[in-house]
Amino acid sequence: MGWREVVITAAQVIVGGPSTAGTGVFVYDPTVATGNLIASITDSTTSPTGDTTLVGITSYKKGTSAHVQIINQDVNIQDEAGRSWTIAADGTSADLVILTPGGSKMFLAQAGYWVPLDPNSSVPETWHALTPSGSWANVTGEELECRLMPDNTVAVHGQLTIPTGVTGVANTITVLGAKYRPPNRNEPVTLTENLASSPFTGTTHIGLVRTNGNLDIFGAATNGNTLSVQIRYPLDGS
């Protein structure tokens, strides 16, 4: 195969043929030779010079495994160390999906904000109901919920009616699921006790999210008052 410098100007270029080795468009630099492939448009896995190619539209970094591949609705990126990322359009959620080398998945919602993967499934994260412990009871319309956030923190939101017996020692409000618990240390948080009616005066309490999932409140609290929970804590604390 020789080398010629040719300039082609055309209103239409059509490339077709059977799905065999070497079918497609192949770009080389500086010469047409094995190892010099820098781009291809093909459904073949081998170039005319014997280079391994990827199906679709691909840009290659010579001498390495690094490449960017566009195939169907996916963009696959691999660096020189073999680490791979995928950016894809999710036909189910209608979100843009980012898959990292570590296997983590993140969704970019149509509204323009990031949503992490539900840690217990393969769909975007949503709010999950929490069950109050003991005699704690949800305030109607403000039920206790939690969700994983894009920055690897957990948000917990809701209001509960304080039961009798909250006397000052640790009292468990709810127990968080395994994937929402801080793995390495207990996380202190601030909880607010409010009067159930006007003037809704508030008193703060120390809370603790434990590695076993318990969300505990400390300090005596008055039966019938409302406990407001609006907290966020990290999952990567050490």
Per-residue pLDDT of 125-181, as tens digits, reads 999 999 999 999 999 999 999 999 999 999 999 999 999 999 888 999 999 999 999
Radius of gyration of the chain (CA): 28
Supply the DSSP symbol for 165.
Answer: T
List the CATH code of the domain at 128-234: 2.60.40.1830
Per-residue pLDDT of 106-133, as tens digits, reads 999 988 999 999 999 988 999 999 999 9
pLDDT reported for residue 122: 84
Q: What is the pTM of this model?
A: 0.79
Per-residue pLDDT of 183-195, as tens digits, reads 999 999 999 999 9
Structure tokens at 165: 């017996």
Distances (CA, A) of 127 to 104, 107, 124, 148, 156: 19, 15, 10, 8, 9
| Cβ-proximal residues to 225 (8 Å cutoff; 6+ apart), any chain | 161, 162, 193, 194, 195, 196
| Cβ-proximal residues to 79 (8 Å cutoff; 6+ apart), any chain | 66
pLDDT reported for residue 12: 86
Domain positions in the chain: 1-71, 84-116, 128-234
3-state secondary structure of 180: helix
Length of the chain: 238
Per-residue pLDDT of 51-107, as tens digits, reads 999 999 999 999 999 999 999 999 999 999 999 999 999 877 778 999 999 888 899
